[in-house]
Structure 1
Amino acid sequence: MAASTFTFATSVLYLLPIVILLLFNKSINRHFRKQQLEIKLPDLMVPYLMLGIQILSKQTFNFSIFPYFLIFIFSLGMIILVILAYKKGEIIYKRFFKTYWRFIFLSSILTYYFLVSANIFSLVIA
């Protein structure tokens, strides 16, 4: 996929996370609630968003920002761990991983749509 053209594939890449969240959120959450699991749709979207970050960063900047994103989320994990340990006086792993994974989702979706907007901006400029 060339960075200077807007195709159907790029529009799908841009809109798919929002479409999935809007259309499938309730059904996925209901399914896992019936299974008595605490899994939500944003938890399942993180791998797709990370793959999208890799693809979009290569398209937009001609290099990958994924290693920097990994450094950021690992640092975020250490910060969350220290804060939870300081506030509670102990580390509860289930609470830590749930909080950490939700922060990863927020960071991923923000980074993903930053890259989408940067990619659109680079298409308009080119």
Structure 2
Amino acid sequence: MHDLFTNWLGQLGLLVIVAIVFWGLKRVFKRRWPKTLLLIDFWPPLLIIFTHYLTLQATESSIVPYEMLSLMIMGIGLTLLEVLQRGEILYGRFFRLYWRANDLVTILVYVIAFGCFVLAKVGL
């Protein structure tokens, strides 16, 4: 199990397994499945763990604390944006917006960490 988290091929394999399980559950629970729930909504916790291991292998430290800090700042910014634009905070709308932005940030940070890992292994 440790190799699934530390090896980049194992990480991508685990994401594929999560996708297959997701599609299977979505197919079994057709009518009861929430329509707004997407596959990438399940990826951020895994991608944060994977980013931690990739950056530890590429550098001497992890980038995850900075990623967490940026996600917190993004949450504060989105809260202020909602208040300024709409004058109120609707929790369902805000959490969906925050989680989708969280999806994009974690995918972007993982791709950057993967690129740094490849560059470190190549020797550039």
TM-score tier after normalising by the smaller chain length: 0.7 to 0.9
My pick for the range that moved more, 34-43 or 77-86, is 34-43
Alignment of 1:1-126 (within 5 A): 9-14=7-12, 17=15, 19=16, 30=27, 34-37=31-34, 38-125=36-123
Q: Aligned partners of 1:106 and 1:33: how far apart in 2?
A: 26
Unaligned runs of 5+ in 2: none
Letter in 2 for 1:42: I
- Matched residue type, 2:62: S
Which residue identity does 1:85 align to in structure 2? V
Deviations, residues 33-73 of structure 1 (Å, cap 9, x unaligned):
52242321111111111111111111111211111111000
Structure 1: stretches of 5+ with no match in the other structure: 2-8
CA contact (8 A) 1:53 1:115 kept: yes
TM-score relative to the length of structure 1: 0.78
1:81–1:96 Cα contact (<8 Å) kept? yes
Moved more, 26-35 or 65-74: 26-35
- TM-score normalised according to structure 2 size: 0.79
Does the aligned pair in 1 maintain the 2:26–2:33 contact within 8 Å?
A: no
Amino acid at match of 2:32: Q
Higher relative contact order (CA 8 A, sep 6+): 1
AA in 2 matched with 1:68: Y
Distance of 1:97 and 1:31 partners within structure 2: 26
- Select between 38-47 and 82-91 the one with higher mean Cα deviation: 38-47
